[in-house]
Structure 1
Amino acid sequence: MNKKIRILVVDDSATQAEHLRYVLEGCDYEVEVAKNGREALSSLSAHIPTLIISDIIMPEIDGFELCTRIKADEKISHIPVILLTTLSEPEDVLRGLESGADQFMTKPFNETNITKHIEQVLVNVEKEKAIPTDSGLEIAFAGRKYLITPRRIHQMLDLLLSIYDDTINKNRELENTIRALTEAKEEVKTLSGFIPICATCKKIRDDAGYWQQVESYVSEHSEAMFSHSICPDCAKKAYEDINKYFNKKA
């Protein structure tokens, strides 16, 4: 159903680019890959994609600069741009707004949300066409000034919503991970607390009430393994008993 939507992926990491290509093609999108911003700009002179998904940190031309150049060119400024980011720095949001990025997609990205991100961007781009761009609001942050236009203010809401959506999903993933770790911790083979052991035969009673040999119990409740041998005291006693037996026979 998405065969007419052509996406240009820009990423200097071949592994990440191919993974993203695999995911997008699995969602029925047509995908082309550029390994850096310069190659992406060269590609845009020949083929116009429906959407661009670009990493931020790249040599020569990073994602912000690539987005700025795209939005400054009337021939391709209409192409929506999604920036892949870890959002580790608050300046990333403002730089994304300043460069004209249409949305952020956080890394590592959630594959199930990619289609939703793309559909939201394409819908919002159509709405933004009616918003004027002649005036703007200057914002100072971390020693720098950023010019935010009315269209960018609308875009800011879209960006914040996309960040919020990704944050909710990542929190949900984190909760699932914590739950899985908690369950795994309960099943981890550990030895602690009081262990019932027979004072005579030295067998241990397990949680089900069965008496087991020490080595069997320890093996089931830890990663320890046994190699059977005989200590000097037991060896001496065993040989004494054997000698006594043969002496009696003699």
Structure 2
Amino acid sequence: MELFLLSNGKLADDAPLLSYAHPQLHAMIAQRGITSAVLVPYAIIRGDHAQRAQDLSDSLGIQVRTVHEFDSPLAAIEQAELILVSGGNTWLLNQMLHEHGLIVAIQRAVRERQVPYVGWSAGCNVATPSIRTTNDMPVRSSVVLPALGLFPVQINPHYLDAHVSGHMGETRDERLAEFCAVNPHESVIALREGSFLHVSENCLRYYSARGEDFKVFRHGEPIAAFHDVLALQSLVPFSCQPA
């Protein structure tokens, strides 16, 4: 199983999509001889799906087609060499995956056919057991359905621990601590912008374009910041965890 779980799509407006993960993504594409990818763009509400696919084609150097260009979304996943799941609204994305019958299809593609999965922002969220640690608003009246569960621990993308002057609402740290208080047996990995987790051949690696840490939230424990994925040893089942 190979997963790329990115906090966000780009670090600057004029940067190519996923460019901060180019070394690892291009190496994977070359190693596997991948020539095409399928984009699941359901999270995009106000953007152009076709343009997003073209941007990804230019960024990754392969042909990228959206699920809408196939006879059916299910057929798209069944033919995919690489699955790309875009950022946007996580609630809408997860609901559409269920409505189109893609939850099991993607799980089988990734786990049985070893199709690589690349998800950023909302696409990162839905790779975890549930979407309860998304930052997005539930723009549809959908229930909290299970997500893909490809990665065993909840992730909070776009993590920010800055305190904004004059803001009297809860901070992200407080919200994530509340999640752990309500769900004391679960943990949350908080990924800053420009960082991602890479699972490959049962190995877990962490990368940050800015050399920043990630945080782990657990009930009853101090919030801890790490640079080394060995800190996740008790949370994930991967046997190989190089720094």
TM-score by length of 1: 0.33
Write 1 or 2 for the structure with the bigger share of helix.
1
Give the TM-score of the pair, scaled to structure 2. 0.34
Q: Which of the two has greater strand per residue?
A: 2
Higher relative contact order (CA 8 A, sep 6+): 2
